[in-house]
Amino acid sequence: MTSGKRAVVLGGRSGLLGMALTAALGRAGWTAHPVGRADFDPFDQGRLRDFCREVKADAVFNAVAYTAVDRAEDERDDAFRLNRNLPRLLGLTMRELALPLVHFSTDFVFDGRKDAPYTPDDAPAPESVYGQSKLAGEQTLFESAPPGLLVVRTSWLFGPGKGNFVATILGLARDRDRLTVVADQTGSPSYTPDLAENAVRLLESGASGLFHLASSGKATWCELAAEAVSLAGLPCRVEAITTAEWPTKAKRPRYSVLDLDAFVAATGVTPRPWEQGLRDYIFKDLGLPPGDGDD
């Protein structure tokens, strides 16, 4: 594909999703301009505006967020600064520049009391500071309403380039013969290269509004961990425990599987299952040899 368009990717130099977006845009024929803290402060509205004009941006992706879920309970102001105040500034700036903005949100905007996948039309009810701050970011963006705004809720990210749950599990499994992992929280694992590629597709489709996007399928944390350990062929037993046995400061949704139908309708593309993304992550990105679980 040769789109010839240009995109600014905030968080594109070192963020787990930002790096995947930078790569995906390149594969789709875009010229990506990743921005990190060393380049300029994204809160500097004048510099951001000038940069978008300098590179003749056709779109902006925001992959900057405060994601320390438990720490946010004690650092509410810091969480809201990045997750609400920055989106507000971006929305106003993109409206001024008449540029589409793709902003990423989270499954933590839901309380997890549903037993069927959450659609974009379901009412949010966050039960953590992190979730509250991300919902506030969504709301302020829709208030500023830049043209072509896309707010993309996603979840349970894993992929190359930076630490993540799967990488942590594999590291622990190399040194231990037994791991215990929560098995009563169910969500939508998301392989970041697939997520980024599909986010670019969504932008190119001309859609706007609120979408859910992840890899297809669902899993518990324990199922995701067990599959990763099995694929890597590590002799570590993964055992299920309850949330009550692994208490955390921030409350997690019990069930936060995301319904992807709106994305499929907009793009005509069904995301790959998370299991396929996990295989690519382990065998291609990490370069691990196939284990006994690779049938």
User: Where in the sequence numbering do the catalytic residues fall?
Assistant: 130
Residues recorded for the chain: 295
Tokens of 131: 């979730």
Tokens of 294: 């690779």
DSSP secondary structure code for residue 129 in this structure:
H
Q: From the CB of residue 103, how many other CB atoms can be counted at a distance below 10 Å?
A: 26
Angle between helices 86-97 and 129-144 (to 10 degrees): 20
Angle at 124 between CA 118 and CA 130, to 5 degrees: 110
Residues 6+ apart with CB under 8 A from 260: 117, 212, 213, 214, 216, 270, 271
**Secondary structure of residue 190 in the 3-state scheme:** strand
Instruction: Report CA 159 to chain centroid distance, whole Å.
Output: 10
Task: Find residue 62's DSSP bridge partners.
Answer: 10, 103
